Chains A and B, each alone.
Chain A
Amino acid sequence: AQSVTQLDSQVPVFEEAPVELRCNYSSSVSVYLFWYVQYPNQGLQLLLKYLSGSTLVKGINGFEAEFNKSQTSFHLRKPSVHISDTAEYFCAVTPSDGTDKLIFGTGTRLQVFP
């Protein structure tokens, strides 16, 4: 079975500051990794995903994430945030054994202040 841990339920940050949202996972098999963003009253939108290859993945809106297999982590980073980045961010995994099931973490609320 797989599980995802997002230790930070809320992350406050000032505009133009860097941010890192942490994600750790547990799995007995290899996994694919995803970050989704949910703006208020909207559905989830894919930010980026890691399937294979380079462990540094670049996504939309200037976000990037690094897959670290030894630490079972997939932290999300942005060098300079904007007010518009205020949203809920979800890390998710799916096992690479052929199933398609997304298993989500509990989410991190990013609040950007002016």
Chain B
Amino acid sequence: EAGVAQSPRYKIIEKRQSVAFWCNPISGHATLYWYQQILGQGPKLLIQFQNNGVVDDSQLPKDRFSAERLKGVDSTLKIQPAKLEDSAVYLCASSLDALMGVRETQYFGPGTRLLVL
């Protein structure tokens, strides 16, 4: 079974530029998550999708971050414009169906390492 795929693996941009990350979850997984992992910290949830709807985006900085999952499969996370403090690893995860009431395991991709100069 293929795991969660993410691209690119690394990205270096200058502040005020825009950047986009792509995630392809495990086939059949209804729930998709984006996490931000700043160096020396644990991952922090940015947004959670159930199919193509947003379940939780309370910690997403909506003035600069946006995410979509239009067809309920792949997802894109965008930052525009980027700030120095956005330097982090962006992790995508998926689970079978978080709304089934069972604590489904979240499977993580390898992440995209972003450096903002």
Interface residues of A (CB under 8 A from B): 4, 32, 36, 41-46, 49, 51, 90, 92, 94, 98-102, 104-107
A sample of 10 cross-chain residue pairs with beta-carbon separation below 8 angstroms, ordered by A number, consists of: A42-B110, A43-B3, A43-B109, A44-B93, A46-B107, A100-B99, A100-B103, A102-B45, A102-B106, A106-B40
Closest to A49 in B: B103
Query: Which residues of B line the A interface, CB within 8 A?
Result: 3-4, 31, 40-45, 48, 55-56, 91, 93, 95, 98-99, 101, 103, 105-111
A51 and B93 alpha carbons, distance in the complex (Å)? 20
Q: Which of A51, A98, A100, A107 contacts B42 (CB 8 A)?
A: A107
Q: How near does chain A come to B22, taking the closest CB pair, in angstroms?
A: 15
Taking CB as reference atom, which chain A residue is nearest B33? A102
Do the beta carbons of A100 and B98 come within 8 Å of each other? yes
A42 to B9, CA, bound (A): 10
Complex CA gap A11/B103 in Å reads 30
* Least distance between B86 CB and chain A CB atoms (Å): 19
Q: What residue of chain B has the Cβ atom nearest to residue A88's Cβ?
A: B42
B105 in contact with A104 (CB, 8 Å) = no
**Across-interface contacts of B108 in A (CB, < 8 A):** 36, 43-45
Closest 9 CB pairs of A and B: A104-B42, A43-B108, A100-B98, A44-B108, A43-B110, A43-B109, A104-B43, A32-B103, A46-B105
Contacting pair A92 B4 (CB below 8 A):
no
Q: Which residue of A101, A106, A107 is within 8 Å of B56 (Cβ)?
A: A101
A90 to B48, CA, bound (A): 20
Inter-chain contact B105/A43, CB cutoff 8 Å: no
Q: A4-B42, A100-B98 are in contact. List 5 more A-B contacts (CB 8 A).
A: A44-B43, A45-B108, A90-B43, A102-B43, A102-B106
Q: Return B105 CB to nearest CB of chain A, in Å.
A: 5
Output the least CB separation between B80 and chain A (Å).
Answer: 25
